[in-house]
Homo-oligomer: A and B are copies of this chain.
Amino acid sequence: MVDRDPDKTRQALLFAAFTEINQNGFQAASLNNILKETAVTKGALYHHFPSKLELGYAVVDELIWGNVKESWVTPLIDVDNIIDALLSMIDRSIEYRNEDNICFGCPLNNLAQEMSPIDEGFRERINHIFDQWRAAITDGLIEGQANSIVKKTISAEASAYFIVAAIEGATSLAKNAKSVDVLRTSLQGLKEHIQTLRK
């Protein structure tokens, strides 16, 4: 980094930190590795972020939240049929995976598992993202009930919890098994469940 473009430097650090964290976890993520990857010096890093912890927080607030929003929240906003939207969202998440990236799992869940018992700052930030995600599903289901697309007998909130849980669980299993097939098979049950919510 010689170009003296602070915004670019910051973004480069964030992205490298995201990758390093996603591969090794936050605690084992090495600042030196991040610096090596970006060719940024330690002084520059500590100019942009006061500590490793704050760098991690920024990764969650900016990069991870951006990813979740794009993949799991925006696709559910203002859709005609929430059931179809959920199903195609799940299909896209399967199509996105291949044998090379399946092993990294869900960045949000990875960090959640590692850091939520240790650091309250991480936990709150991650929990907020889960809340937004789940709220998007809940709202969609409620609207679907109003539009006679979704059964009125089900609890939208409970269904949203279950859907998020099943997606995260399936991603976890597939990560551990290093298998897209495991992801597909695990999510098949979820898709069938979602079909039963249809009016």
Interface on A for B, CB 8 Å cutoff?
23-25, 27-28, 103-105, 109-110, 112-114, 116-118, 123, 126-127, 130, 157-159, 161-170, 172-173, 175-178, 182, 185-190, 193, 196
Contacts and interface: CB of A to CB of B under 8 A. Distances in A.
A130 B173 contact: yes
Contact of A172 (B113, B175, B176): B113
A186 B196 CA distance: 17
Contacts of A161: 170, 173, 182, 185-186, 189
A170 B169 CA distance: 7
Contacts of A105: 113, 117
A72 to B, nearest CB: 14
A55 B115 CA distance: 22
